[in-house]
Structure 1
C-alpha cells in the first residue's frame, strides 16, 4: 500500500477496484485530481489482477491521498470494497466503478443530499456517453419483474435498489451494515445491500448530479459472468433479505419454500 499525497478532512474516502482497467483508471484518477472536490480526502485503488500502477508527472501532486492495494489473488466485488473501506476514519464512503466518467464534481451534491438523512445512501443520475439516462434504478428483481423487464420490455416504476457504480453514504451506515455480503462474488451484492438498507429504514436518495457510466453488461457476453449472475440471483431469491424485502416493498408475502413474485 502506497501513499502518494495526503490532506486533512472533510471527508469522503472513495474505493475503486480495477480488473485490468488501466486506461479507465488513469482517466478516472486524472478527473478526480482535475475536479479537486473539497469532499474527497482519500482514494483507495485496489488492483485485483496484476497491472501497472497509474503514472503521474513528478511535478504534479494529487490533491487527495491515494492508497494502492495489490491483491495476491483476485477477490470478488464486495470483498474488495469491504477490505478497502475497513476501519475508515473519514465521515463518508463512496463505492465508485472504474468505468465511471466524471465531468463534474458529484461528491458535494451527494454529501449535501444526505444532510438530515443519517441512515440513507445517495447516488447520482447515471447517463451513457450520449447523455441518455440509464436504468440504474430498479425494482426488486423477482422472477416476474425480470421477465417483464427482459422480455416484455416494460418500464420499472419503483426504485427498490440502485446499482453500485457510484454509491455514497455515511461511514456509520457502511460499518453498521457490515459492508457488502461477500457471499455474492459478483452481481447482486448491490441489490442485497440496498434491500438490507431499506429493511433498516434507510432511504436511497438521488442527488441532482450526473455521472457517465460505461456499463459493460458482461453477463450477456461471457459464460463465466452469466454463471456468476445466475448463482447470485439464486442466492438472493432464497435469502431472508429477499423474502422480507418483497413483503416490505411490494406487500406480497411469499409462500414458504418458494420464490415470491409480485
Structure 2
C-alpha cells in the first residue's frame, strides 16, 4: 500500500476539483489528509469518499504536519511489508499508473528515498526544478549567477534516461520513503517551520545513512507551484531565509541522522 500524506492550507477547492491530485479511488493507495485551515467542505468530501481527514493540531509547520500523519498511520492501520510513505503537495496531480510504477521502482531497486519528474504545466513541457544540489556557505555568493540559493540539475540531460539517477536533494512536493528509513531519520525536523525541511532530510539521509535520493526521470507528474517565497517582504520570504541559514548551521553542526525532538522513532 502507498500511504499518501497531503497537507492542506486552504487548498480545499484545488483538492476537490483535482479529485485529491488524481488519486481519489485509487486502489493502490490510501490518502491521509491533514487540514491546517479546517474546511467543512473538504471534511465532508473526504467523509463521502472514505478518505482519512483530520484537522487536529492546526498551525504546525510542513515537516511536523507530515510527522503527525506518519504517527497517525502507525497508530491506525500501521505499515505492512513493502508499504511506502509518500509526502505529496496538494498542488500535485499524478495518475495511479505513474504512482504504481514509482512504487514498483522503489521496491524492486530497494531504494529508501526517491522522487519523480515534476512539471509546472499540464502539457508537461515546463520542467519543475524539484531536484537540486545542496546549498552551502558559497551559495549566497553564487546566487546572482544561478538566480537561486541552490543549483539545479539539468533535467534535459537526464530526460532520456530510463534508469534512476542519484541526486543530492529533492523537493518535498513529492518525496517517497520506506517507513523504516523515515523512522531512522526521525522524520522531518520540526525546527523548520517551512522551507528547507526537505533539503535537511535528504542531507541527513545522504550523510548519516548513506542513502541518496533516487530520481526517476521517466515517471512524470504535474506540480503547479506558487513559489510564494519569491516576494521579498512576505512572510514566506522571512521563513525561507530563516530556514536557509538554519540549514547551513545544522549542516555543519549536526552529528546524528535523527533530530533530538523526533517523535517518529521507535
Contact 2:168/2:212, CA 8 A, preserved across alignment: no
Contiguous gaps of at least 5 residues in structure 1 = 1-10, 246-262
Q: Quick one: which of 223, 232, 239 aligns to 2:243? A: 232
Structure 2 residue aligned with 1:142: 136
1:29 paired with 2:20, answer yes
Residues 168 and 139 (structure 1), Cα distance of their counterparts in 2 relative to 1, 3 Å cut: same
Bigger mean CA deviation after superposition, 45-54 or 163-172: 45-54
Q: How far off its partner does 1:46 sit?
A: 0.4
Residue of structure 1 in register with 2:40 after alignment: 52
2:10 paired residue number: 20
- Secondary structure of 1:44's match? strand
| Equivalent residue runs for 1:59-70 within 5 Å | 62=49, 66-70=51-55
Cα gap change, 1:156 to 1:244, in 2 (>3 Å): farther
| Structure 2 gaps, min length 5 | 154-165, 255-266
Contact 2:35 2:54 in 1 (8 A): yes
Residue 100 (structure 2) aligns with: 108
Residue by residue over 1:80-109, the C-alpha shift from the partner in whole angstroms, topping out at 9 and shown as x without a partner, is 100101124242100000011224533212
Residues in 2 aligned to 1:112 and 1:57: alpha-carbon distance in whole angstroms? 27
Where does residue 192 of structure 2 map in the other structure?
184
Corresponding residue number in structure 1 for 2:180: 172
Q: Which residue of 2 aligns with 1:249?
A: none
Is 2:89 the partner of 1:97?
yes
Q: Give the one of 144, 153, 161 matched to 2:146.
A: 153
The counterpart of 1:43, out of the listed 22, 31, 49, is 31
Please provide the CA RMSD for this pair. Answer: 2.5
Shift of 1:72: 4.6
Helix, strand or coil: the match of 1:135? coil
Task: After TM superposition, give the deviation of residue 165 of structure 1 in Å.
Answer: 0.6
**Taking structure 2 as the reference length, what is the TM-score of the superposition?**
0.76
Q: How far apart, CA to CA, are the structure 2 residues paired with 1:161 and 1:57?
A: 32
For the structure 1 residues 30 and 244, does the alpha-carbon distance in structure 2 shift closer, same or farther, using more than 3 Å as the test?
A: closer
Q: Secondary structure at the match of 1:78?
A: helix
Q: Is contact 2:92-2:221 (8 Å) kept?
A: yes
- So what's the TM-score if we normalise by structure 1? 0.77
Deviation readout 1:158-185 (Å, 9 max, x if unpaired):
9310101111121111112111000001
In structure 2, distance between residues paired with 1:30 and 1:112: 20
What is the SS of the residue equivalent to 1:198?
Answer: helix
Please give the alpha-carbon distance, in whole angstroms, between the structure 2 residues aligned to 1:205 and 1:20. Answer: 31
Q: Point out the structure with the larger helix share.
A: 2
Equivalent in the alignment of 2:226: 216
**SS, match of residue 141 in structure 1:** coil
SS at match of 1:95: strand
1:26-64 Cα deviation digits (max 9, x unpaired): 114262126x2x431x21100001222435599xx74xx
* Structure 1 match to 2:56: 71
CA distance in 2, matches of 1:192, 1:30: 26
